[in-house]
Structure 1
Amino acid sequence: MTRERALSALSMALCMSLCVAGGFAAGCAGSSRTAGSATVPFDAVVLSVERNQDALTSLSGEGELRVETASFSQGGDLDILLRKPDTLQITVKGPFGIRVGNALVTRTNFQFYSTMQNRLYTGRTTAENMRKTLRIDLTFDDILALFTGGRFLAGDRTSPDEIGVDGGDAVFTFTGGEYGRRYVVDPSTKLIRRIYLIDNDGAPMIEQAFADFQTVGGVTIPRTITITQHQSRQRFTLRYGQITTNTEHIQFTFSAPGNAERVELK
């Protein structure tokens, strides 16, 4: 497989896999127990994370994307345009700046064009549609949060089922629902370092990690975002090179050739 074809094939997988990492299934909370002593109150962490997310209205980022699987490792460039509350555009580029994939996602619809396949995917941005494609629930807000430092799911903003400490980090675990969720938080900054989707035995299935935080325009953003799918042994790493936040005017442009094969996901 050529580098260009690998990036083209995986650019859609990137969009979908990033959505998976942001869309952990929420569930009902059970009784709470504490392992060790938490280094920061949970309510204070939730408030800090939500304030940081609410301070961001838009983001323009350029960076490097690396995709690693059991059989190969490929890299390319990634451009991201994000405007709250309703629009996200992702562009994947190969060698010499050649565009190999472009996705435009809104609260109502999404479009993805693969250059190498000359194929346009379209559909409605609904939990049902995403569940058909990804076999897991997610919301549009969770997708936006992925590129900006993560957040607690709506169902995970009350008392956690387990509270613990790991290497100085505070750990909050929720066991309700089909899958568990585990949040690892830096107690000094009250920012999320990692989010895990865990199975019934507590083993990680999907890991979402944030690192190299920097404050840009009054918003703290991770410059390195890593999504690891442990079962399929796939890892997606995004490293921002340039980031601009809260720009008033952002232009979104999306186009596909008239002869592109149309695939509608219903």
Structure 2
Amino acid sequence: MNRAAAAIFLALFCSGCPKRIDFGPRGQITDAQELFQLTRSAQERVVSLQGDGKLRVESPQGTGSVSAYLAAMRPGLLRVEMFDFFNRPIAVLVTDGQRFGLFQAQENRFYQGPATPRNLSRFLPVALPSEELVSVMLGQVPFIPAERMTLSLDEKERVYILTLHQGAVSQVLRVEPGNLRVVRSEVRGARAYDLEYDHFKEHGELVLPHEVKLLASTADTSLGLRYTDITLNESPDLTLFDLAAPEGVPVVDVDEDGQSLPPVALPPVSPGS
């Protein structure tokens, strides 16, 4: 057998060999509770991010993607700026977890009110509390409260399968053995959404997925986020989360359900005051 044929044979032979799973320095984990605690600890190390990315939305109302500047800090501080193809501002969302402000460039209006999921869905096609939205952007998975847990190893996908059970509701977590980060979360038995995390990158001692996908199957909607240039756990400029309206832009107050509120009636000015 000549060298070329031998090389081809070796490549074909090796391609059929299962790759060795990298369990990291701890080795394989066999206890579900231990894996859950380690996974939760690993994802909670990221507390803030800021930088550039791309947002993509797929929904019955349409599909599209835009450039974005993002700043997020736990528990509920968030700023998202969207830009069109020509880098012109489309919209800016800011929330401190309690209140929100939304500037819509096309309308030249600034909406403000309680930071309810309904109001935040004016900007993003998913109705989530700001704390939960920030967690998802930071690569964290909200866990259901579990009565029990089960653990198995999927050697084909090379991931742990950690399942949380709460009555008729279950959450299946696919966990990467090396960095102990969730790569997919699926909730069944309750109205919820699925999460997919991919392209994990190291930032010093921190690990963050640079691709985030939220799938709301009941609404036939998905929200994708891809980070292009970000920093982690740096103290952000808190003025980024200023809720004040841009100067000269009309303000629209909305209630918890997103309905416009009438202007506040000012008391009449008494003579001589």
Letter aligned with residue 259 of structure 1? P
1:142-183 Cα distance to aligned partner (Å, 9 max, x none): 322211211343724x632x4444433222333426854322
User: 1:1-266 alignment to 2 at 5 Å?
Assistant: 40-70=30-60, 72-125=62-115, 129-130=116-117, 140-153=130-143, 155-156=145-146, 159-160=148-149, 162-166=150-154, 167-176=157-166, 180-199=170-189, 206-250=193-237, 251-252=239-240, 253-254=242-243, 255-256=245-246, 257-265=248-256
1:96–1:133 Cα change, 3 Å? closer
CA contact (8 A) 1:211 1:223 kept: yes
State the SS of the aligned residue for 2:57.
Answer: strand
CA contact (8 A) 1:39 1:169 kept: no
In the other structure, the counterpart of 2:22 is: none
Letter aligned with residue 98 of structure 1? R
Structure 1 unmatched ranges of 5 or more: 1-37
State the SS of the aligned residue for 1:52.
Answer: helix
1:55-80 Cα distance to aligned partner (Å, 9 max, x none): 33421121111112356431101211
Paired with 2:128 and 2:221, the residues of 1 have a C-alpha distance of 20
State the SS of the aligned residue for 1:144.
Answer: helix
Paired with 2:120 and 2:70, the residues of 1 have a C-alpha distance of 22
Letter aligned with residue 216 of structure 2? Q
Deviation, structure 1 residue 221: 0.7
Letter aligned with residue 105 of structure 1? T
Deviation, structure 1 residue 39: 5.9
Percent of aligned pairs with the same amino acid: 16
CA contact (8 A) 1:120 1:263 kept: no
Cα root mean square deviation, aligned: 3.3
- Paired residues, what number? 220
CA contact (8 A) 1:110 1:122 kept: yes
Q: Structure 1-normalised TM-score?
A: 0.68
1:155–1:248 Cα change, 3 Å? same
Paired with 1:69 and 1:241, the residues of 2 have a C-alpha distance of 23
1:137–1:80 Cα change, 3 Å? closer
1:85–1:235 Cα change, 3 Å? closer
1:64-107 Cα distance to aligned partner (Å, 9 max, x none): 11112356431101211123344211112112212212111223
1:23-79 Cα distance to aligned partner (Å, 9 max, x none): xxxxxxxxxxxxxxx965333333333333443342112111111235643110121
Deviation, structure 1 residue 119: 4.2
State the SS of the aligned residue for 1:88.
Answer: strand
- Answer 1 or 2: higher relative contact order, Cα 8 Å, separation at least 6: 1
